[in-house]
């Protein structure tokens, strides 16, 4: 998507609570007139129907590691069977008020850029332009041998051909819960054992979703772009990230070290709370929408 997508009517977006409002007013006073770097995590997309891994109410789940994916054919088969179900959930998810709030801040010239740990592309769907997809994107697949990149939609067609009726069979048993990386909660071994995975159509190599697995390094270019966004800003706003993994935690630590104020908005504690000038335990989407309303000039 290119250009700015108009935000839909704010139907169903809760207003900040009486306890949250004074903290949001403090954040507004701190950030007013400053250029912001924005770092977002899975907690931003929960209001779009995408569960997170670590937030309140999330279902404990151990994501597959890169080493497991490339080293164990049975685990890889399990992964692709689950991903073939879960990616559809992410594909149909839409931006929420928080994504539109961030895009409004960017459109108003108040940001140096957006760094997201999410792979769901919802910032882009909301109209944001300068986005670093730190952990990659769910809508592409890469060959680990020849590095050919194809769309996840194309691979879905291939997998549907190789596994006729698979999706319908599983969906007939009830709703499917999908994680932020498009992994789905499928445990029926009989279904998994007969799932046929696809190889690269160019060289026959191993295909992998084009996002960073646990145990895999974030590409250096993305890290450098992210640091540049933080270095070019006057303050860092973290929204919806528990900052559990170092790929995200390094940025508030860097911002604090360089003397920039850090604001963290998240449900529950984060690993980076000690870096925060202000920490707000609140819903992310309504908080970002509030800040966009207060900080961005009308029109």
Whether residues 233 and 127 fall in one domain: yes
DSSP code of 5? P
Answer yes or no: do 112 and 254 share one domain. Answer: yes
156 and 287 housed in the same domain: no
User: What would the pLDDT profile of 138-197 be if each residue is shown by its tens digit?
Assistant: 999 999 999 999 999 999 999 999 999 988 887 777 656 666 666 666 666 778 889 999
- Asked if the structure places residue 153 within a domain, the reply is yes
43 lies in the same domain as 81: no
In a domain, 250, yes or no: yes
Give residue-wise pLDDT tens across range 9-56. Answer: 444 567 888 889 999 999 999 999 999 999 999 999 999 888 765 544
**What confidence score (pLDDT) does residue 7 get?**
46
Q: How many structural domains is the chain composed of?
A: 2
In a domain, 11, yes or no: no
d(CA 242, CA 267): 8
User: Measuring CA to CA, which residue among 180, 252, 249 is closest to residue 212?
Assistant: 180
- If asked whether residues 261 and 150 sit together in one domain, one would say no
Question: Six-digit token pair at 185?
Answer: 């909660």
pLDDT in tens, 55-99: 444 444 567 899 999 999 999 999 999 899 888 777 888 999 999
Q: Based on the fold, state whether residues 157 and 248 are members of the same structural domain.
A: no
Q: How far is the C-alpha of 185 from the C-alpha of 168, rounded, in Å? A: 15
Q: Is residue 6 part of a domain?
A: no
Cα torsion at 206, 115, 297, 233 (round to 10°)?
-150
Question: Domain range spanning residue 149?
Answer: 61-92+139-211
Do 249 and 146 fall within a single domain?
no
In a domain, 5, yes or no: no
This model's pTM is above 0.85: yes
Residues 77 and 152 in one domain: yes
Judgement on whether residues 171 and 274 belong to the same structural domain of the protein: no
Residue 286's nearest CA partner among 40, 6, 12 is: 12
Task: Please list the active-site residues.
Answer: 135
156 and 84 in a common domain: yes
Say yes or no: 190 and 226 in one domain: no
Same domain, 31 and 108: yes
User: Which structure tokens are listed for 9?
Assistant: 């009517």
């Amino acid at each position: 998507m290119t250009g700015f997508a108009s935000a839909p009517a704010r139907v169903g977006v809760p207003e900040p609570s009486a306890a949250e409002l004074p903290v949001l007013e403090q954040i507004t006073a701190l950030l007013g007139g400053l250029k912001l770097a924005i770092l977002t995590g899975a907690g931003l997309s929960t209001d779009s129907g995408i569960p997170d891994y670590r937030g309140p109410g999330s279902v404990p789940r151990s994501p597959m590691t890169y080493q497991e994916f490339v080293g164990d054919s049975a685990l890889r088969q399990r992964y692709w069977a689950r991903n073939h179900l879960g990616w559809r959930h992410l594909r149909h998810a839409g931006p929420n008020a928080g994504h539109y709030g961030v895009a409004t801040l960017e459109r108003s010239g108040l940001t140096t850029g957006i760094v997201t740990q999410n792979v769901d592309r919802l910032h882009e769907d909301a109209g944001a332009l300068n986005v670093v997809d730190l952990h990659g994107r769910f809508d592409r697949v890469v060959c680990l041998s020849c590095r050919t990149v194809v769309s996840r939609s194309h691979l879905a067609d291939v997998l549907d051909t190789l596994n006729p009726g698979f999706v319908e069979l599983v969906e007939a048993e009830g709703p499917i819960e999908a994680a932020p990386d498009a992994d789905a909660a499928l445990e029926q071994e009989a279904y998994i054992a007969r799932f046929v995975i696809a190889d690269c159509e160019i060289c026959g190599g191993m295909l992998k979703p084009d996002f960073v697995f646990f145990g895999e390094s974030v590409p250096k270019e993305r890290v450098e772009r992210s640091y540049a966004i933080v270095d070019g800003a006057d303050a860092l706003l973290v929204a919806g990230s528990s900052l559990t993994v170092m790929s995200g935690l390094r940025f508030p630590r860097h911002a604090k070290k360089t003397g920039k104020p850090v604001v963290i908005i998240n449900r529950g504690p984060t690993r980076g709370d000690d870096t925060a000038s202000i920490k707000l335990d609140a819903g992310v989407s309504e908080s970002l929408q509030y800040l966009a309303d207060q900080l961005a000039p009308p029109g």
